[in-house]
């Protein structure tokens, strides 16, 4: 059964159409990767699903019939607690707070001014499951990029037990830390959390997801990852990942991809 159903979504900025007539659905337990070239509207679509941007037309229906399309309100968002890890920004690394404070802030949609014991327990449990409990008193600013991403993932986890939206969660991380993040996300999916992830890393998307949405303003493909692998679109996309998105020469996946490119493109 689908928990999020997008019907004919069109979204624009200042009269410029960014996403056009996009329909797809997400079922409980899915691991959906949204792929596509830069500027194809992936983040805009995710922000719309979160109720942060209004679509021009179409609907985002949640499992209980709640409609975010154009009518996002507090009670609707409350019913559909989505943990969100936004795209990395420069602001993020200079955030002056402790790890515990940042993770706890993920529970903010639950209560008023003060954190309850239940919220603190939740934050500790999230940190424990992501292996960062020993960092809880440290300043966020002093952490490595990989540790910061784990903290932000723990924060997102505090906001939900159901759905995580991740916007390029491994951008800028080295291959080892990238792999650790992917494995962590896989584990979260295995315990039943639905994952919706924007990714530039098509190899990883093919390995970890069970559904792919390939966006290019319209939907170029939506379906299972196994079906996607058989398409020319996938073959073409594998061959045209911009060089700057490849990792360094030590990355096995990238080396394999380079060999593949030489043979096929
Ligand atoms: P992607 O995530 O696929 O790289 P985005 O959704 O970030 O794409 O952006 C799609 C297009 O929307 C881009 O051309 C971008 O410039 C434009 N855009 C994104 N955010 C805004 C905004 N706040 N105001 C105006 N245009 C925007």
Pocket probe for ligand 1: among 38, 41, 49, the residue whose CB has the most ligand atoms within 8 Å is 41
> 167-219 pLDDT, tens per residue?
999 998 999 999 999 999 999 999 999 999 999 899 999 999 999 999 998 89
Pocket probe for ligand 1: among 15, 39, 199, 201, the residue whose CB has the most ligand atoms within 8 Å is 39
Whether pLDDT at 157 is above 90 = yes
Handedness of CA 92, 98, 104, 109 (dihedral sign): negative
Whether pLDDT at 77 is above 60 = no
Q: Which residue has the higher pLDDT, 242 or 226?
A: 226
- Give nearest CA residue, ligand 1 atom 13: 39
> If pLDDT is split at 50, 70 and 90, which confidence band does 108 have?
confident
Q: Please report the pLDDT score of residue 92 as a whole number.
A: 66
Q: Which residue has the higher pLDDT, 108 or 62?
A: 62
> If pLDDT is split at 50, 70 and 90, which confidence band does 109 have?
low
Residue 245 φ/ψ region, left for φ over 0, alpha for ψ in the -120 to 50 degree band, beta for the rest = alpha
Q: Please report the pLDDT score of residue 172 as a whole number.
A: 87
The answer to whether the predicted template modeling score (pTM) of the entire model surpasses 0.95 is no
Instruction: Identify the three-state secondary structure at position 108.
Output: helix
Is residue 241 within 8 A of residue 200, CB to CB? The reply is yes
Q: Which residues line ligand 1 (CB under 6 A)?
A: 13-14, 18, 36, 38-44
Q: Please report the pLDDT score of residue 72 as a whole number.
A: 43
- Give nearest CA residue, ligand 1 atom 18: 13
The tokens for 25 are 């659905």
Residue 185, C-beta contacts closer than 8 angstroms, at least 6 positions apart: 153, 164, 166, 169, 195, 197, 208
> 229-244 pLDDT, tens per residue?
999 999 888 876 555 4
> 21-68 pLDDT, tens per residue?
999 999 999 999 999 999 999 999 999 999 999 999 999 998 755 555
Please tell me the distance from the alpha carbon of residue 202 to that of residue 235, in angstroms, as a whole number: 10
- Give nearest CA residue, ligand 1 atom 20: 44
Q: Averaged over 106-114, what is the pLDDT?
A: 71
Q: Please report the pLDDT score of residue 126 as a whole number.
A: 94
Q: Please report the pLDDT score of residue 70 as a whole number.
A: 42
């Amino acid at each position: 059964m689908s928990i999020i159903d997008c019907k004919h979504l069109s979204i624009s900025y200042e009269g410029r159409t960014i996403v056009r007539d996009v329909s797809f659905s997400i079922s409980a337990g899915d691991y959906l990767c949204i792929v596509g070239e830069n500027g194809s509207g992936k983040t805009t679509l995710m922000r719309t699903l979160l109720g942060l941007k209004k679509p021009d037309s179409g609907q985002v229906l949640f499992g209980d019939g709640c409609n975010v399309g154009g009518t996002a309100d507090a009670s609707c968002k409350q019913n559909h607690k989505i943990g969100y890890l936004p795209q990395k920004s420069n602001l993020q690394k200079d955030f002056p707070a402790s790890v515990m404070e940042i993770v706890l802030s993920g529970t903010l949609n639950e209560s008023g001014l003060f954190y309850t014991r239940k919220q603190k327990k939740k934050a500790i449990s999230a940190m424990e499951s992501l292996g960062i409990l020993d960092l809880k008193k440290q300043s966020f600013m002093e952490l490595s990029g990989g540790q910061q991403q784990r903290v932000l993932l723990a924060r997102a986890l505090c906001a939900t037990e159901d759905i995580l939206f991740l916007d390029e969660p491994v951008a800028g991380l080295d291959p080892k830390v990238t792999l650790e993040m992917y494995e962590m996300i896989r584990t979260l999916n295995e315990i039943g959390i639905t994952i919706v992830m924007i990714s530039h890393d098509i190899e990883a998307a093919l390995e970890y997801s069970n559904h792919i949405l390939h966006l290019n303003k319209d939907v170029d493909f939506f379906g299972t990852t196994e079906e996607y692998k058989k398409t020319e679109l996938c073959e073409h996309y594998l061959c045209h990942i911009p060089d700057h998105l490849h990792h360094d020469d030590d990355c096995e996946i990238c080396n394999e991809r380079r060999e593949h490119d030489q043979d096929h493109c």
